[in-house]
Structure 1
């Protein structure tokens, strides 16, 4: 056994590992899990898990669903992640600009960042219109077949793009020539403009958000809804222009200077 492996064994924390196992399991279970289900899925005794669940509930990391014996993960971890300086700054700058966009265009918009080779929605602004479409904050979206994913991949530097793609299961990879064509097209036009592959009738528009170093840090996306009664406050092309302006202002407030 190597010295590193020996130290890992010396400093293991079984209780902490158990708690993390529970949180990681529950992160993908939107309908909740009972103690028995958690026990079966983790292969652990109910007695050793029960106390962990009590503590996690007391600390606000999980909740018990009303009139149920099922536990569900809370938004506390998401809230803690939002306290990271970069995310906190991005959302603070984005909030008034996204609100301005939604009020002007009467379209919803959301902000997506890349984490562990997935897109994560960190902010959402609903349209003031009665007819609207939105996406849940904290939702994860694939990079390879979404508007936000195309933007994040296209404007990433080559090394970052390789790291993103390495984290995607090989079975879900796009052929290299297809990915290259998408990235070249999106980067050349400065935005993505594509029919949603998740929701019929929605056309997505996405622009990159850059930081002071010129690195892409987020994608600002509108799932454009075209009203059949022609009551849209703005047509598609007008929304694209306004969204591009909002994205540019957001980047500038993050310190980006395209002339540097």
Structure 2
């Protein structure tokens, strides 16, 4: 007997269902945007599911270390286990290992915090962060997301991507993130490529000048943006002026790039 083989229609992708896995992923994606955590009643309400459907999912996720239930509380929060797993991915692991000492030196040289941002799924993500040694610190949280539009890191990642990659990046921007007109986008790209860096006032904090330079890998691809949220000290105690900071940041980005195999010559 000849076995009948189902053929997929051209242009259509076969879809599969894994209800238990989907429930677990729904829980993790929900808790990822709830900094204060949620109790099981709030989780079931937001996901429109019953307690019976989700209770075992939460227990298993807690046992595996993906969510935690604080002692004396009924609220579940997402742990950093997923973040840790992501950093075991070879390209990210390599980037974090070679950049950490460079960012540490940079923060001491200019007395400012700094961080590295990579692109993933329509957003920038902070994968390395170093606080300033100064008593006064302004920094971005490790793991924070950065919109591609209206941010220094986003402009760099978009500008130094090739045209096809840039369009793919733009198509994946979440609907709730800001967007820009095509003409404004073209103008921004030309400006950043001409300068070789980006420097704009922060869209999130007053008095901060975000300064950023691209980081390249051995394939001459921009794999990250090195960002310094620069602010001036009103008491005059800060010795590094913004012009000097630019040169030091540029050199730091170059040092990381060379460590990744980039040939600047």
User: Shorter-chain TM-score category?
Assistant: over 0.9
Report Cα offsets for 1:112-144 as digits up to 9, x if no partner.
Answer: 000101000001100000011111111101011
Larger helix percent = 1
Aligned to 1:31, the other structure's residue is in SS state coil
Q: Does 1:36 align with 2:41?
A: yes
Unaligned runs of 5+ in 1: none
Q: 1:108 aligns with which of 100, 113, 118?
A: 113
Unaligned runs of 5+ in 2: 1-5
Q: Does 1:215 align with 2:224?
A: no
Per the alignment, residue 253 of structure 2 pairs with 247
| Aligned 8 A contact 2:122 2:174 in 1 | no
Supply the distance in 1 between the matched residues of 2:29 and 2:175 (Cα, whole angstroms): 22
1:21 to partner: Cα distance: 1.1
Q: Does 1:231 align with 2:237?
A: yes
1:252 to partner: Cα distance: 0.8
| Aligned 8 A contact 2:200 2:209 in 1 | yes
Q: 1:89 aligns with which of 90, 94, 97?
A: 94
1:217 to partner: Cα distance: 0.3
Per the alignment, residue 137 of structure 1 pairs with 142
Aligned-CA RMSD value: 1.6
Deviates more, 1:84-93 or 1:40-49: 40-49
Report Cα offsets for 1:37-68 as digits up to 9, x if no partner.
Answer: 11011111112211110110111101123432
Report Cα offsets for 1:189-223 as digits up to 9, x if no partner.
Answer: 11001111110010110000000101110000000
Deviates more, 1:224-233 or 1:12-21: 12-21
Q: 1:63 aligns with which of 59, 68, 74?
A: 68
Q: 1:193 aligns with which of 185, 193, 199?
A: 199
Deviating 4+ runs (over 6 angstroms): none
| Aligned 8 A contact 1:132 1:225 in 2 | no
Per the alignment, residue 123 of structure 1 pairs with 128
Describe the shift of the 1:104–1:40 C-alpha distance in structure 2 as closer, same or farther (beyond 3 A): same
